[in-house]
Amino acid sequence: MNTYLIPTTAAYCYEPYDHIYLVYANTPLEAYRKAQTELQGEYILQKSQKYESYPFELYKPNDTAIFPFPESQKYDILTEAFKNTKGAKHMGHFNVNWNEYTEPLSKKADKEIWSNPTYPNNGILTNYLVHTYKRLRTERQIIRKDNYALFNTGLFTKYYESIYAYSDQEYNVSFLTGHELNQHGISERPQKANYFEDPSLLLFDWHYPIDIHFKHILEDERNKERLPKGFLEKENKMCILTGAVELMKRRVSANYKLAIPQCYEDKIQLLLPLCLDTDEGKPDIALAVTKLDNCYQGYTCLTLDMAYNNARLIAKPESSWLYSK
């Protein structure tokens, strides 16, 4: 995919190219149509019959999933391409490398695990910030003013005070409580990210069967890399996996807290503990299941490091089995 900058005008003003909307797409026309769908009337796309003539196709960045432009070029490109727009200015808020902000935030927030062998150096917190900000943009919960921007991190201090990410007019990012926002004269309190509407999806219903996608779990190369080496050396892998699933269902029916929610492709899944290569009954892998009408679908497995990283996006996991060995 390419990165496109779509010239737009806010619905409440009439100055051309007043704002810029960033879209990932394969072609300029596809980007324009995506913008039409996602802006939902708050912004008016600039009219043109020659989409290819728009000056917004810059180049294909290396990592469109996290940072839209290389760190060394992004502000220069925005400023040069749209010198006379407010869009370049507003896109500066929170357009940062979140790795640089995890240390102060981890110290301000209540103490918890933000690193593991797979995600060192507060990598779990970096992932949390990147996806929380992305979710809040979708939910339109980012407050943007002329001289600051603000969003709710969803984290709390040890005194259960909400922590907000605050970007000033120089684009400096800091993390403030409601009391500290008051000292800046800010009364807005944006909502934290919401990942589910139906609370029942957060509980595992042991009455429903789990349909395991054995071929994907046991043969897909990427999935096999996540499975314990001892398990992969066994001849009767399908029998072991089937037995582990049945044991897991009994354990979760006895303790519903063992099922931990994660959000994948905007859908709630449950992470369930599997013991594939241990005699001690300690889980060594997580099975991700999605609830359908009358069953669960178990399509893939995650390492405990991966599972904890994904689960932390919704809430701090309370089940100890999800902590890696």
Of 42-46, 62-66, 177-181, where does mean pLDDT reach its minimum? 62-66
Residue 147 C-alpha from the chain's centroid: 27
Q: Is the pLDDT of residue 240 over 90?
A: yes
Tokens 């009337």 correspond to 41
User: Which tens digit of pLDDT belongs to each residue from 135-183?
Assistant: 998 888 999 887 899 999 999 999 999 999 999 988 899 999 999 999 9
Residues whose CB is less than 8 angstroms from the CB of residue 188 and which lie 6 or more positions away in sequence, other chains included: 143, 150, 181
Q: Is the pLDDT of residue 86 over 60?
A: no
DSSP-derived letter for residue 320 is G
Q: Is the pLDDT of residue 91 over 60?
A: no
How far, in Å, CA of 201 to CA of 204, rounded?
7
What is the model's pLDDT at position 72? Answer: 43
Query: Which band of pLDDT confidence, cut at 50, 70 and 90, is reported for residue 277?
Result: confident
pTM for the complete prediction? 0.73
Query: Which band of pLDDT confidence, cut at 50, 70 and 90, is reported for residue 231?
Result: very high
Of 28-32, 163-167, 201-205, 302-306, where does mean pLDDT reach its minimum? 28-32
Token duo for residue 297? 């679908």
Query: Which H/E stretch holds residue 233?
Result: none
What residue spans define the domains of the chain? 2-90, 98-183, 199-322
